[in-house]
Structure 1
Amino acid sequence: MVEETPRLGLHTYGQGDEGWDHTDTVEALDEHAIVRGPLAERPSEGRYDDELYHATDQGTTWRWDSSNGEWSYFGGREPTWNVEAHGITGDGETEVGHAVCELLETVDESGGGIVFFPPGRYLFERTVLIGDNTALMGTGRSTVFDGPRPTGEHGGALLSNRGYDRPDYDGASNWSVSNVRIDAPGANGILPAHAENVRLENIYGDAIYYHHIDVVSSKNVVVDGYWATRGGAGDSDAPIQFDSQNTGTAANGVWDGSTSTLVKRDGTPTRNCTLRDFEIEPANNPEYGVHIHRDGHESLTIKDGYITGCQYSAIRGDTGATMGDITIAGVSCIENARGITLGEDEQGRRDLTVSDVTIRTEDGELAAGSGLYASGFDSASLSNVTVDGAFTNVVLFDDMADLKLTNVTAKGGRDQGFRFRENVDVTVTAAHVAECGGAGLYVGPESSAAYGGVTFDDVGSTVVVDGETREWVTSSTSS
């Protein structure tokens, strides 16, 4: 098989044949076949458009574009680029960030595709920028991304996307990163910025300066499969963060190897994002496990995960930050100072749902504040939730217009089990309070509680009222 394609001179040697050759775009082929384009008659010589070239091992078809003298992706499976075939090595010594960026430019010009990183440690001395319709894939923990940075330049993103400096959601879309390990003590991690339709799958997080994953002013981002062994070494240390790049924000930079450029600061909210199937078990005790940072977040879902070892709160939303449609489901927050903290905002938040959640801290010296605290939501529902630990108050709410608790257990508080402190309108059904030094249920000023099916076991007092209550089902008490 030593023929050449007509006019274009693209070799069709079989892989392993003497003299075998191929282009950078169509690589490592077992067999080549030319499929004629729509022209019925072609000149015997010269280049022309619309010639199609089928790569049988990739299952893809490429089209010759004479306007730029290149093959472009035409159809079939997404084309695949193996970085090793382009001289990019994961030897842990060679800096390859610029080379990866050049390859990704080629991928982008071809309409996207899969970029494969074999096992190795890849040093990205600059932020790698991903384009539309592009998937970076590794082999799991054996594909490691590191980001060396000059002294004093810690924290520039390891990976981000094209268009990070554009407004709204005008950055790159339909891109993904999967099956890689981040071990980059000098860098920030994966930074979707002003991006749309992003999937981050099977991400392993070891050493990092700020966050393994930092979703900034993006929408439709799904993190599915994430395991963190450490939090950040810098002053913002949550392993994963949802952020909005508001006016005046001085963080979230892209490093080009010599200069840091901030993500566009236009207040675009992070919207419709999901974190699921995750485990955060950091050895260095960060403040938070999941941080909802700054204003404007909408439709965030955190589900099916485990968080431990946080010195402030497993899941925390910033004080005063507006947010809406927050769902936390199937999450275990074990041995953290607090479980869920979404407090200190009087109004402007919408729709909170917490279900099938366990918060437990047995270390009395670690437990602090409230195990679960939320405020400022116009509607909230908690169901099948257990909060257990020597917190000051086990469950605390402020400024909640329509709060419903069903099958919620509050246990072990130094003071109160359920504290509806101020301006809370709550309905409590089938709840249990145990081993609290103060009131099992406290209803504060300007608050109203309707409750039934509530049981008390070993509490200082059952119900203390500074607001209004209505008991419609007999509750029970044991000493």
Structure 2
Amino acid sequence: MSGFKKIEVKDSLVDWSEKFNHNTDESTDLKRRMDILETGETVDNELIALRDSTAFSFTGTTADERVENAEGELLADRERIDRLESRLLPMINVKDKGAVGDGVTDDSPAIQAALDEAREQGGGEVQVPPGTYAIRATLLIYSRTRLRLSPAAKIVRDAELGNMLRSGIGNIDGYQGVHDVEVTGGEWDSNARRFPSPVTSLSFGHCEYITIRDTKVTDVYHHHCVELNAVRHGKVVHCIFDGYSGTRYSEAVQIDLMKSASQYPAYGNYDNTPCDDILIAYNTFTRWSRGFGSHSATTNIYHTNVRVIGNHFKELTGQGIRGYNYRDCTVVGNTFENCRMGIEMRNAETTAAGHYTIAHNTFRRMNGEDLGFGIWLNGFSEGGKTYWITDAVITGNVIEETNNDGIYLDYCTRVQVIGNVIRRAGDQGISVYRIEYSTLAQNRVEDVWEYGIAVNESSDNHVIGNFCRGGNRKGDDEIPGIGIHSGSDRNHVQGNLCRMDATGSRPDYGIRITNTCNDNLVTNNDLYRSGTVSSLRDTGNGTVTTAGNRE
């Protein structure tokens, strides 16, 4: 492997954005290049060109059929590339280095010897055949190495190790450490039941082109299954993360920046390098704290180009996804079941976090008593300064049975909340505080505990074409289907349809505007039989209703 950057074609193509740009010319060129590869002609140059031919840029919004076609059409292509690259790599079997695989013998020296030989040869594939391999020292992996575990191979932590596997070059800057590494197959058992000490099973820092796929990581204590810290071009795909114990909220898969030794104790340099171009796709997260995300940040430094696609989050005691100071992030086609919370995106003391697309996800039973939201975009204000989350699109999501609001926005600007379905929320269906220049449109909100849509301290927004049925299951007074409250000014509330529920879920009003609100436009709403007291209650100042509403 003479210095080229490897790709996994299918993993690259499962990326949502890459599939948007897949076309006939690219497909033809891809197949031509693979035919050349298999004849052995100019192998290194053609692999480089093959990677370049599948480069992508995110330009689309929805393209479900093209996504499915791209994945099926090029499944064979990935397998052909795997076979080709396997022929190019020296094969090193850990059994040939003395590994026993009986679950008792310390096999870390033998496995490390195989990894070291791959390094000495300029790259290689280290193969771990079926068996249970106990390790009592952290394994170090180097550039241009594939560590391939048999499906029946398990590596077990047999001592209080901080990492089971770690990138082997440290104390560098940027992305100058290990590159072109793949860890695939088998299981990594962190063995917290015997060694309840903090561990991050697979850890990579100051790296690029890191792929972890088709593997399982289990029984982790306190830290993470996978950490990508200061990593560019990282992928975690088709993995299972099962089983966590500890005393804090930790992510199964964490991306972080090289901030300090407390964030990444293995090595520096601590130059605040963030992550860029990260794909988290088609994984299962179960019986964990948080699924994917971050819990540290540095002002004005962002993780960028993060895609979280097609994952399943189940039985988590924290958030499924918690993004912290992310910019240009796509969260598409994930499912969340029996989690404390679905998605939280928040910023630090910065005004540029945002540019999120959160689309076509499904949430059922977000059950946290203190959180319990389906989706929460969380800006904040401190010391007289406001740190907005900007330019987000939330669309096509289905959110059912949350303990709190279905969608909650706080300190957001230029956000589009369009075409979502929210049922049986434990508080408001959609609740917004301190937002501006945003749109809530064509959402369907049914059978919620209090308001269908609640707008508070928010001005210059559109609330247009939403359908609110039922609401006020709580049975309190003064609860409307749509409420404009608490100093919310100059909003357009138009073309909404509000109805009481025949079975007893009944707001007092279809729409209510309170006396602290000014100059709102409330017209052309269908409020027929929308409230037990009246269809429209307006005590605001300067409310425009000239075009009328159906009451």
TM range (shorter): 0.7 to 0.9
In structure 1, which of residues 204, 222, 232 is the aligned counterpart of residue 216 of structure 2?
A: 204
Distance 1:405 1:94 in 2: 56
The alpha carbon displacement at 1:198 in A equals 0.9
**Residue in structure 2 matched with residue 436 of structure 1 by the alignment:** 448
* 8 Å Cα contact 1:398-1:424 kept in structure 2: no
| Larger helix fraction of residues | 2
- 1:234-282 CA-partner distances (Å, limit 9, x unpaired): 6454322122221x341434xxxxxxx4343221101111111111122
**Residue in structure 1 matched with residue 309 of structure 2 by the alignment:** 303
Determine if the alignment matches structure 1 residue 149 to structure 2 residue 154. no
The alpha carbon displacement at 1:298 in A equals 1.3
* 8 Å Cα contact 2:366-2:403 kept in structure 1: no
The alpha carbon displacement at 1:335 in A equals 0.8
The alpha carbon displacement at 1:362 in A equals 7.1
Q: How many residues align?
A: 386
**Superposition TM-score, scaled by structure 2 size:** 0.66
**Residue in structure 1 matched with residue 534 of structure 2 by the alignment:** none
* 8 Å Cα contact 2:306-2:329 kept in structure 1: yes
* 8 Å Cα contact 2:369-2:403 kept in structure 1: no
The alpha carbon displacement at 1:448 in A equals 3.3
**Residue in structure 1 matched with residue 495 of structure 2 by the alignment:** 473
**Residue in structure 1 matched with residue 409 of structure 2 by the alignment:** 397
- 1:378-408 CA-partner distances (Å, limit 9, x unpaired): 1100111012224232210012221112211
* 8 Å Cα contact 1:250-1:262 kept in structure 2: no
For the residue of structure 2 that corresponds to 1:398, the secondary structure is: strand
Distance 1:234 1:424 in 2: 38
Distance 1:235 1:123 in 2: 27
* 8 Å Cα contact 2:94-2:110 kept in structure 1: no
**Residue in structure 2 matched with residue 334 of structure 1 by the alignment:** 337
**Which structure is larger by alpha-carbon Rg, 1 or 2?**
1
**Superposition TM-score, scaled by structure 1 size:** 0.76
* 8 Å Cα contact 2:366-2:372 kept in structure 1: no
Unpaired segments ≥5 residues, structure 2: 1-39, 41-85, 379-387, 473-479, 502-551
Determine if the alignment matches structure 1 residue 451 to structure 2 residue 457. no
Determine if the alignment matches structure 1 residue 108 to structure 2 residue 119. yes
In structure 1, which of residues 208, 226, 231 is the aligned counterpart of residue 239 of structure 2?
A: 226
The 5 Å alignment of 1:190-269 reads 190-209=202-221, 210-233=223-246, 235=248, 237-246=250-259, 248-253=260-265, 261-269=266-274
**CA-based RMSD:** 2.2
The alpha carbon displacement at 1:121 in A equals 1.5
- 1:100-153 CA-partner distances (Å, limit 9, x unpaired): 22332221121101110001122222221111111000112x211122224xxx
- 1:297-338 CA-partner distances (Å, limit 9, x unpaired): 111111111101112221123xxx422111111101111121
**Residue in structure 2 matched with residue 49 of structure 1 by the alignment:** none
Instruction: Note closer, same or farther for the CA distance 1:403–1:326 as it changes in structure 2 (3 Å cut).
Output: same
Distance 1:474 1:435 in 2: 16
- 1:205-230 CA-partner distances (Å, limit 9, x unpaired): 22122222111111111111111221
| Larger strand fraction of residues | 1
* 8 Å Cα contact 1:352-1:377 kept in structure 2: no
Unpaired segments ≥5 residues, structure 1: 1-58, 60-74, 254-260
**Residue in structure 2 matched with residue 178 of structure 1 by the alignment:** 184
Determine if the alignment matches structure 1 residue 407 to structure 2 residue 426. no
**Residue in structure 2 matched with residue 377 of structure 1 by the alignment:** 389
Structure 1 runs (4+) greater than 4 angstroms displaced = none
* 8 Å Cα contact 1:245-1:263 kept in structure 2: yes
For the residue of structure 2 that corresponds to 1:414, the secondary structure is: coil
For the residue of structure 2 that corresponds to 1:105, the secondary structure is: helix
In structure 2, which of residues 148, 160, 164 is the aligned counterpart of residue 137 of structure 1?
A: 148
Distance 2:240 2:318 in 1: 20
Determine if the alignment matches structure 1 residue 271 to structure 2 residue 276. yes
Structure 1: which amino acid aligns with 2:171?
D
Structure 1: which amino acid aligns with 2:429?
G
The 5 Å alignment of 1:307-318 reads 307-317=313-323
